[in-house]
Amino acid sequence: SQQGEEDPQALSIQEGENATMNCSYKTSINNLQWYRQNSGRGLVHLILIRSNEREKHSGRLRVTLDTSKKSSSLLITASRAADTASYFCATGLTGANSKLTFGKGITLSVRP
Amino acid sequence: SAVISQKPSRDICQRGTSLTIQCQVDSQVTMMFWYRQQPGQSLTLIATANQGSEATYESGFVIDKFPISRPNLTFSTLTVSNMSPEDSSIYLCSVGQAGGGYGYTFGSGTRLTVV
């Protein structure tokens, strides 16, 4: 069963705008990760945030985690056409080498 | 981070036949994961493969349909057996990172179409 639920399911923005994607989950987690998938290819890991962290940055990415609300958000600033992809949140229930449970995914379209 | 070579990248198969997908990792890893992604859907874990022991299958997936081999710490195969059109999906292998701090690496996927 799916652990995460992202919203919105589809997002279309203009290049240069910020994109915010949200993810909710149901159980206690060890970490939450965001991945990008281009055109049905392999997934690329973007960022991982642990359950004891509240915010993390990586380049144009900012992820927040609210364990009390069981939710996370991924912000992509100054979006580019190359950011067009599907984005998935995934939760790890334990530490290293635990299996991941993926949300349904968000399709982001960035218009040039 | 690890690099995974997954083969084949795509295939079109006749129903009733089997396809074996291979994943080669450039470093030794304890556990490998196999996922299925049905058209337009998210990823669903099929099984977790440990070297030297039988794979652990998720609910809804059985060994007779998806046999997995894990002969060493750098290689695994997933076979999709007795295929039907409903097996048309992308299949992906994945490995975690030591310490769990850097996310997981995925193979480039195998796009399977069953006709």
Per-chain mean pLDDT for chain A: 91
- C-alpha A7/C-alpha B91 separation (Å) is 25
Per-residue pLDDT band for A96 (boundaries 50, 70, 90) equals low
Please tell me whether residue A7 adopts helix, strand or coil conformation. Answer: strand
Q: How large is the average pLDDT for residues A32-51?
A: 91
Q: How far is A65 from chain B (nearest CA, A)?
A: 16
For A48-64, what is each residue's pLDDT tens digit? Answer: 999 999 999 999 999 99
Contact flag B101-A42 (C-beta cutoff 8 Å)? no
Stretch A78-82: mean pLDDT, rounded?
97
pLDDT in tens, B83-110: 999 999 999 999 987 555 668 899 999 9
Q: DSSP letters of A29-57? A: -SEEEEEEESTT--EEEEEEEETT-SEEE
Instruction: Establish, for the pair of chains A and B, how many residue pairs have beta carbons separated by less than 8 Å.
Output: 67
Pick from B42, B98, B102: CB nearest A2: B42
Partner residue facing A102 (CB), from B42, B96, B107: B42
Nearest to B79 by CA among B33, B23, B20: B20
CB contact under 8 A, B96 and A97: yes
Distance of residue B29 Cα from the nearest chain A Cα, in angstroms: 9
Q: Please enumerate residues of A whose Cβ is less than 8 A from a Cβ of B.
A: 2, 30-31, 33, 35, 40-48, 88, 90, 92, 95-105
Longest dimension (CA), chain A: 40
Cβ of A99 and B45 within 8 Å?
yes
